[in-house]
């Protein structure tokens, strides 16, 4: 009987990987930089890292049930092929599932990185006691995965669960996807920081956040949140806009999907209760007269490991 | 082997019902007014109508596999109990599933009326060739049902698939549900007509739609659409707002659920291509650079029969 599955989380900066037993406990893990050359170098690095991890853990390949791979997308899930990856060059059209199967001699499961992070949080993280869950990862953009009755929602073409591109501010900020007013433009750590910086540069009013920007040369979401908490009016406006957009999205998700839980992770979630407090307040403040809001909101609990855990879990579900 | 299932669609105005064979062909149907007294009178009328329909069709009760009931909600699906019905008095807390089972001596399945209409359209209507579908019924309000991989989406508490209460215009028109900017306030036939009437009364500018209102004493969605098509500026503004809100909702649904098809029914859909043409144009006009919009839009094809067909289908799925 197989002793482990390998989970690989392919990111723009790092390839993270782990060995997980059937109970989804991480028994070994590693990470290495994603080769900037992209393409074949990335595939080689993934395969080498997996071989090395097995070797260093003293696990024979015959004791591994399979490998799960979380990749940025969009992906063609049926074919196991990458349609495009904005942050890693040279992977467009690559049959990643087949390549890894061939290189490792193990069956491989491929899914969207955000979906697999959701599966990880669902199985062993904040969602471990529920059946219906949404994960929103508020990082550079907004990644998301949706679990309906225990299964990942993929949709008819494998491109569902893109909550970051729900239109929450019609006619609002232009998004890289070509739409306007996408959630991602308001509630991602990356866009919040970028927007706050632009507000400071446009308004030229000074203040605490302007001082941080002058000192560091850049801003992150935490800077904005802390300056907002300290009363900086520009930071306050930017932060409140982010929370309001996120609350609207959570209401719409609750209405459409009625999940037991919406889990919030990523850089924005580092603010902890400074985010969740006002978010819950606004979310609950949209009174529903016919039915009470029954979807809870919670912080993610697996941090950066969710993707690796979910990737291995997908392999266990498929090949275990 | 059972020859039929009974489908009952409980509405605020009519109780509609039908006998359907295993292929979901309607072999007999009837409708009668929903008793204004509500409560027990409604349950009696449903049971009597079902008995009468079986008798008039010459079907013995032992040849019926079960009865499916579509009810306005919200419902407690696990318990088979009505939580509330805004348009029918005296049904709050009623164990409708158990009552009908007892009265008819047949197993009963209970679900939300909009969900069962979606199941009907999915199985034998516009969605019959797809696996993932959303039905939006643009009537008095916006009813909706969601099919994911062949199954109705109910969510964690049985109150999902309320697309009419997605927030599409943040801070916008107040909704009966307690929120602001719900899709229902913009894209339902009822609210469109009501809003257009208010625009005429507030602006007092006259014009074709004002003439229709003066003549009929009221407006419906079709009046607004026809006046818009004839160039009436007030009607045009109201109609365009409705189509834009609906297009935004379709984009968000495609991003979140990635269905094969979004099906549009109800009073607004009576406009046919006058609705679908501009809707498709706006929906496709929100360019997506990474992935093309792959969710199609189509008119519903079962009209008012969708609910009865879906109700019987739910009984077949459960008891067949």
- Per the CB < 8 A criterion, the answer to whether A141 and A187 are in contact is no
Instruction: Provide the token pair at B108.
Output: 């009963």
Can you give the pLDDT at residue B302? 97
Residue A166 is nearest to which of B156, B255, B261, comparing CB atoms?
B255
Question: Do residues B59 and B161 both lie within one domain?
Answer: no
Mean pLDDT rounded to a whole number for chain A: 95
Residues A160, B257: C-beta atoms closer than 8 Å: yes
Residue ranges of alpha helices (H) inside chain A are 39-57, 96-104, 113-124, 184-187, 189-203, 208-216, 221-229, 233-257, 273-285, 306-319
- Residue B108, domain member (yes or no): yes
Residue labelled with tokens 């997996």? A50
Q: How confident is residue A86, by pLDDT bands cut at 50, 70 and 90?
A: confident
- C-alpha B127/C-alpha B261 separation (Å) is 7
Structure confidence at residue B257 (pLDDT): 97
Note whether A152 and A271 are same-domain residues: yes
Q: What percentage of chain B has pLDDT greater than the value 70?
A: 98
Average pLDDT over chain B, rounded to an integer: 95
**A155 and A297 together in one domain:** yes
- Taking alpha carbons only, the member of A271, A244, A264, A250 closest to residue A137 is A264
Instruction: Return the pLDDT at B41.
Output: 97
Which residue of A lies nearest to B170 if distances are taken between CA atoms?
A169
Q: Does residue B39 lie in a domain region?
A: yes
pLDDT digits (tens, 9 = 90+) for A2-44: 899 999 999 999 999 999 999 999 999 999 999 999 999 999 9
Q: Which is more confident, B238 or A203?
A: B238
CB contact set of A80 (below 8 Å; sequence gap of 6+): A95, A96, A97, A98, A108, A110
Q: Quick one: B14 exposed, middle or buried, by C-beta within 10 A (0-12, 13-18, 19+)?
A: middle
Rounded to whole angstroms, the Cα distance separating A164 from A138 reads 9
pLDDT tens for B90-140 read: 999 999 999 999 999 999 999 999 999 999 999 999 999 999 999 999 999
- State the Cα–Cα distance between residues A284 and B175, nearest whole angstrom: 16
Distance between CA atoms of residues B104 and B51, nearest Å: 7
CA separation for the pair A248, A283 (Å, rounded): 7
Domain identity same for A146 and A27: no
Residue A85's pLDDT band (cuts 50, 70, 90): confident
Is residue B83 in a domain?
Answer: yes
Q: Is residue A92 domain-shared with residue A187, that is, in the same domain?
A: no
3-state secondary structure A192-237: HHHHHHHHHHHHCCCCHHHHHHHHHCCCCHHHHHHHHHCCCHHHHH
Q: Are residues B93 and B46 in the same domain?
A: yes
Identify the pLDDT of residue A110: 98
Query: DSSP alpha helices (H): ranges in A230-305?
Result: 233-257, 273-285
- Select the residue from B71, B151, B156 to test the A interface by mutation, using most A Cβ atoms within 10 A: B156
pLDDT value at residue B73: 85
CA distance A162 to chain B (A): 5
Mean pLDDT on B152-177: 94
Residue B83 maps to which CATH number?
3.30.420.40
The position carrying tokens 């070509």 is A178
In a domain, B319, yes or no: no
Which candidate from B153, B178, B252 shows the least CB-CB separation from A166? B252
pLDDT given at position A294: 87
8 Å CB contact of A161 and B260: no
Q: Can you tell me the distance from the alpha carbon of B30 to that of B23, in angstroms, rounded to the nearest whole number?
A: 19
Do B59 and B141 have their domain in common? no
Does B313 fall in a domain? no
Is there a single domain that holds both residue B156 and residue B249? yes
| Percent of chain A at pLDDT exceeding 70 | 98
| Beta-carbon separation of B257 and A148 below 8 A | no
Rounded to an integer, the average pLDDT of A219-235 is 96
User: Which tokens hold the place of B177?
Assistant: 């549900």
Domain that holds residue A66: 4-120+304-319
Q: What is the pLDDT of residue B293?
A: 66
Do the Cβ atoms of B259 and A156 come closer than 8 Å?
A: yes
Task: Tell me how far CA of residue A179 lies from CA of A311, B8, B166, B285, B286, in angstroms.
Answer: 30, 42, 18, 9, 5
The last residue of one of the domains, among B75, B92, B113, is B113
Q: What are B220-253's pLDDT values in tens digits?
A: 999 999 999 999 999 999 999 999 999 999 999 9
Residue A48 is classified by DSSP as H
CB-CB under 8 Å, B248 with A157:
no
> Is residue B157 over pLDDT 70?
yes
For B57-99, how does the pLDDT look when each residue is reduced to its tens digit (9 = 90+)? 999 999 999 999 999 988 999 999 999 888 899 999 999 999 9
Residue B121 lies in a domain: no
pLDDT of B159 over the 80 cut: yes
Q: Is A258 close to B86, i.e. CB distance below 8 A?
A: no
Cα B116 to Cα B145: distance, rounded to the nearest angstrom? 7
- Predicted confidence at residue A205, as pLDDT, reads 82
Measured at the alpha carbon of residue B225, what is the angle toward residues B219 and B228, in degrees to the nearest 5?
105
Distance separating alpha carbons of residues B125 and B115, to the nearest angstrom: 14
pLDDT given for residue B33 in this prediction: 97
pLDDT at A291: 65
CA distance B103 to B67: 11
pLDDT for residue B289: 65
For residues A144 and A107, membership in a common domain is answered with no
Nearest to A38 by CA among A84, A98, A97, A105: A84
Q: What are phi and psi of A57, to 5 degrees?
A: -90, -5
Q: How many CB pairs under 8 A join A and B?
A: 144
SS3 call for B277: helix
Check if the beta carbon of residue A49 is closer than 8 Å to that of residue A56: no
pLDDT at residue A99, rounded to an integer: 97
pLDDT band at residue A73 using 50, 70 and 90 as cut-offs? confident
- pLDDT attached to residue B292: 66
Start-to-end CA span in chain B (Å): 9
A220 pLDDT more than 80: yes
pLDDT tens-digit map of B182-208: 999 999 999 999 999 999 999 888 899
B276 and B176 in a common domain: yes
- The verdict on A314 and A232 lying in the same domain is no
One domain for residues A136 and A113 = no
User: How far is Cα B185 from Cα B10, in angstroms, rounded to an integer?
Assistant: 23
Rounded to whole angstroms, the maximal C-alpha distance in chain A is 66
Cα–Cα distance measured from residue B313 to residue B21, given in angstroms and rounded to the nearest whole number: 9
In a domain? residue B209: yes
By C-alpha distance, which of B67, B62, B69, B57 is closest to B27?
A: B57
Task: For B19-66, give the DSSP string.
Answer: EE-TT--EEEEEEEEPPTT-HHHHHHHHHHHHHHHHHHTT--GGGEEE
Q: How many domains does chain A have?
A: 2
Q: Minimal CA–CA distance to A111: which of A120, A64, A126?
A: A120
B158/A253 CB distance under 8 A: no
Q: First and final CA of chain A: distance in angstroms? A: 9
Residue B119 lies in a domain: no
Residue A209 has pLDDT above 80, yes or no: yes
Is the per-residue pLDDT at B254 higher than 80? yes
Contacts of residue B139, defined as CB under 8 A and 6 or more positions apart, other chains included, come to B188, B189, B190, B266, B267, B268
What is the DSSP code (8-state) at residue A37? Answer: T
Chain A residues whose CB is inside 8 A of the B177 CB are 288-290
């Amino acid at each position: 009987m197989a002793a482990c599955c390998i989970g690989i989380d392919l990111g723009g900066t790092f390839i993270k990987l782990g060995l997980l037993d059937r109970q989804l406990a991480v028994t070994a893990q590693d990470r290495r930089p994603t080769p900037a050359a992209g393409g074949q170098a990335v595939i080689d690095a993934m395969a080498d890292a997996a071989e090395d991890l097995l070797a260093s853990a003293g696990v024979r390949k015959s004791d591994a049930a399979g490998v799960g791979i979380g990749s940025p997308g969009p992906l063609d899930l049926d074919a196991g092929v990458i349609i495009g990856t904005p942050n890693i060059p040279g992977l467009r059209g690559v049959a990643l599932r087949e390549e890894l199967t061939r290189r490792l001699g193990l069956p491989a499961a491929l899914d969207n990185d955000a979906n697999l992070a959701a599966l990880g949080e669902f199985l062993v993280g904040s969602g471990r006691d529920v059946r219906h869950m949404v994960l929103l990862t508020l990082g550079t953009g907004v990644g998301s995965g949706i679990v309906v009755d225990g299964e990942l929602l993929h949709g008819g073409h494998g491109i569902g669960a893109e909550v970051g591109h729900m239109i929450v501010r019609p006619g609002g900020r232009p998004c890289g996807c070509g739409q306007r007013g996408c959630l991602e433009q308001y509630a991602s750590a990356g866009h919040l920081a970028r927007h706050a910086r632009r507000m400071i540069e446009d308004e030229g009013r000074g203040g605490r956040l302007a001082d941080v920007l002058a000192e560091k040369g850049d801003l992150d979401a935490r800077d904005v949140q802390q300056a907002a908490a300290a009363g900086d009016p520009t930071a306050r406006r930017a932060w409140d806009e982010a929370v309001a957009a996120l609350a609207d999205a959570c209401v719409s998700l609750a209405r459409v999907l009625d999940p037991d839980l919406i889990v919030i992770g990523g850089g924005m979630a580092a603010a902890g209760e400074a985010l969740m407090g006002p978010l819950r307040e606004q979310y609950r403040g949209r009174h529903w007269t016919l039915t009470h809001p029954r979807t809870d909101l919670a912080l993610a609990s697996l941090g950066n490991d969710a993707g690796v855990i979910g990737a291995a879990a997908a392999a266990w579900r498929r090949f275990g």
